[in-house]
Amino acid sequence: MAGQAPGGQKTPPNINSLAAQGIQGAGLGAAAGMAYTPSQVGVAGTSATVNPTSVTGSNVAATNVAGSNVNPANYNVTGSNVNPALNNVSGTNIAAQQIGQQTASPQVQAQMMRNTSMTPYMNPYTDAVIKANEADILRGANMGLDMLGAQAQAAGGFGGSRHGVAMGEMGRGVAQQLAQSSAGLRQAGFQNAQAMAGQDIANNFNSQMANQAGSQFDVNTNMQRQLANQGAGLQASQANQQNALQASLANQSAGMQGQLANQQNALQAQGMNQSAGMQGALANQGNALQAGLANQSAGMQAGLANQGNALQVGGMNQQYNMQGQLANQAAGQQDIQNALQASLANQTAGLQGNQLRLGAANQLGQTANLGFNMGQTVNNNLAMQGAQQQAMQQALFDAAQRQFRGYTGQGANTLGYVNQALGQTPNVGTTTKQETKQNGIFDYLTAMSNSYTGGN
């Protein structure tokens, strides 16, 4: 578990405590697995016994058929008389329609150019075009004046009379070009407007001429309609006379056809009534014969049906009894098989429970062995860490001892330097030993401390 270190920082978790907690959880899980007990399977119940039902056949009673007689008097046909007066045709008179006169053609009024304003036809951007042209001309004139001044200055005559005359000529040419250009642009704009106005005047004149021609066409059409009305009146009179003659002839023919139709209807009605009487008598005889045959056939079919029903009922009852016995036998065998399967399932569940308990016990042993190995590993690591700390402290002690020996032998070593400076020879038998100082751990720590604090 991670703890709270001084200064508000969290210490890292201890691997040993985490491992011990994991081993404890694994042991608890293995102990719970050892207590597992499988549930027993019981038979839900026994199969129900099947009781077969007996079938009782129903007898069929034959129904007698009574033939129906046909009365021919109900189907007598009465012929209908045709009245020729209802189909008389009367001719219709045709009245010719009169068409009124049309109005006269309009007069053509020609427009003139002097009465037409040119303002709507003028280009609204004429002044802008002229100003842009003047700006281009003045820009070229300024460039020319600059070049003329540069040439005069190069020749040493800048500001002289010749320079002034040249500038005056250039100014006159620029003014003349501005006037000609502006006049040309305005003349072109006026001519364009005059041409557009002339085109509109021509279009107006042509439209008036077309309207006058249309009015003349209407006058000619009116005259032709009056002539057509006169011809229609003559044709209508002739048609009325022909309609009257044809109506008289049609009425005469319809009267003769009506009398002939009445005679034919009377003859056909008598023949149809006679035929219907004969067909009714024959139908009555046929119905009586068919009813007797149908009654006889129905009686025979009812007797055969009753015999067949009795045989089928006996066979069905035997079959149902046999099926009921077989079903009861199969149900008993199924109950035995269910009990056997339940016993086998309980036995298998017990074996599986034993295996699970053995596995849990094995897992618990492995977990305990894992905890023992981890304890041994921790002890070995602590021993190694103690040995390393002891070696480090011994190295510090050895370095401190070497450094102390260097300090104590430093006085004897400096005597040789003093004797050499004085020119004296050391005494015979005196051995001078020079030791080389080796830096120890304290020297390195002192150097690091001085470098960190700046030598203060």
- Summarize pLDDT for 193-235 with one digit per residue, the tens: 888 888 988 898 899 889 888 888 888 887 888 888 888 878 8
Check residue 54 and give its pLDDT. 63
CA dist., res. 14 & res. 5, Å (int): 13
Mean pLDDT of the region 147-175: 84
DSSP 65-89: --PPPP-GGGG---PPPP-GGGG--
CA angle 316–322–324, rounded 5-degree value: 100
Q: What is the DSSP letter of 160?
A: S
pLDDT band at 238 (very low <50, low <70, confident <90, very high): confident
pLDDT at 24 over 60: yes
Would you put residue 385 in left (φ > 0), alpha (ψ -120 to 50) or beta? alpha
Work out the burial of residue 248: count CB atoms within 10 Å of its CB; fewer than 13 is exposed, 13-18 middle, 19 or more buried.
Answer: middle
pLDDT at 172 over 60: yes
pLDDT at 186 over 80: yes
Q: Which amino acid is at 400?
A: A
CA dist., res. 334 & res. 48, Å (int): 11
Say what percent of the chain tops pLDDT 70. Answer: 70
Please give the model's pTM, rounded to 2 decimal places. Answer: 0.27
- In this predicted structure, which of 303-317, 367-381, 434-448 has the lowest mean pLDDT? 434-448
Mean pLDDT of the region 70-93: 60
pLDDT band at 237 (very low <50, low <70, confident <90, very high): confident
CA dist., res. 174 & res. 148, Å (int): 14
Would you put residue 423 in left (φ > 0), alpha (ψ -120 to 50) or beta? left
Check residue 53 and give its pLDDT. 60
pLDDT at 250 over 70: yes
Taking only the tens place, the pLDDT of each residue in 389-421 is 899 989 998 888 888 887 787 766 666 666 677
Look at residue 387 and give its three-state secondary structure.
Answer: helix
- The residue among 175, 152, 177 whose CA lies nearest residue 162 is 152
Q: Which residues contact 346 (CB under 8 A, 6 or more apart)?
A: 38, 40, 41
- The structure tokens 């016994």 sit at 49
Which residues sit opposite 4 in a β-bridge?
A: 10
Residue 174 and residue 141 in contact, taking contact as beta carbons nearer than 8 Å? yes
Check residue 89 and give its pLDDT. 54
Check residue 164 and give its pLDDT. 84
Would you put residue 20 in left (φ > 0), alpha (ψ -120 to 50) or beta? alpha
- The residue among 198, 200, 180, 178 whose CA lies nearest residue 190 is 198
CA dist., res. 172 & res. 86, Å (int): 115
Higher pLDDT, 426 or 208: 208
> Rounded to 5, what percent of the chain is helix, strand, coil?
75, 0, 25
Which residues sit opposite 10 in a β-bridge?
A: 4
Higher pLDDT, 77 or 199: 199
Sorted by where each begins, the domain ranges of the chain are 80-86+98-304
- The residue among 265, 266, 324, 434 whose CA lies nearest residue 51 is 324
CA dist., res. 191 & res. 4, Å (int): 104
- The residue among 206, 316, 261 whose CA lies nearest residue 81 is 261
Check residue 90 and give its pLDDT. 60
What element of type H or E holds 423?
none
Check residue 131 and give its pLDDT. 86
- The structure tokens 């597992």 sit at 36
pLDDT at 423 over 70: no
Higher pLDDT, 439 or 201: 201
Length of the chain measured in residues: 456
- How many other CB atoms are found less than 10 A from the CB of residue 27? 16
